[in-house]
Amino acid sequence: TQLLEQSPQFLSIQEGENLTVYCNSSSVFSSLQWYRQEPGEGPVLLVTVVTGGEVKKLKRLTFQFGDARKDSSLHITAAQPGDTGLYLCAGVPGTYKYIFGTGTRLKVLA
Amino acid sequence: DAGITQSPRHKVTETGTPVTLRCHQTENHRYMYWYRQDPGHGLRLIHYSYGVKDTDKGEVSDGYSVSRSKTEDFLLTLESATSSQTSVYFCANSPRENTEAFFGQGTRLTVV
């Protein structure tokens, strides 16, 4: 059973396009994190969302936490080749331990 | 930057041999974690520590043991390496439980 589902699994887009990545669970999260991982490196924390309905912006990246705190989305505006990487969501669903989603692998073509 | 250093960065070992991976933090974070990352499975927790000599199992702990004799060091041991343990291993730390984690650069282990 996958407690944290991410979609899509793979995404290949042209530079300048917009995209949205989703992270879903049937359980409530106390908080949720988004990470980006580049090849050969460990994941790097991008943001933490805590409150239902919360929206956070990091330059061209917009993170939203669902009102019920069971889902989250990451929207990238005008994607650039530097955005290429594996995007991971993570959190504690219900009474489980801290877990990661399987990730969305993004490739932005110049 | 939580200052996680993993060693070695790459290792090839033979089936049946013991292997120890090292993780060193320069911060004084209480929580430390070992994950493995495999295609199609994402990051899976092997073991974690919530203090010196305090450790617990994660979701894929079979065949692995850990030790934490000092706050700054967290060791992962594969007691008898198998080919299924070929993976990339990441160490992470966190100042608080079940929240933001800071990762090392990973150790790529190949068991032949």
| Residue among A53, A33, A67 at smallest CA distance from B43 | A33
The alpha-carbon gap from B61 to the nearest alpha carbon of chain A, in Å, equals 14
Range A24-38 average pLDDT: 92
How far is it, in rounded angstroms, from Cα A65 to Cα A47? Answer: 11
Q: What is the pLDDT along chain B (112 residues), one digit of tens a residue?
A: 559 999 999 999 999 999 999 999 999 899 999 999 998 788 999 999 999 999 999 989 999 999 999 999 999 999 999 999 999 999 999 988 877 899 999 999 999 9
B4 contacts in A (CB within 8 Å)? Answer: 42
Residues of A in contact with B38 (CB under 8 A): none
Looking at A3-12, A70-79, B92-101, which range is the least confident one? B92-101
Tens of pLDDT, residues B5-25: 999 999 999 999 999 999 999
From the list A14, A21, A41, the residue with the least C-alpha distance to A109 is A14
The Cα B48–Cα B91 span in angstroms is 9
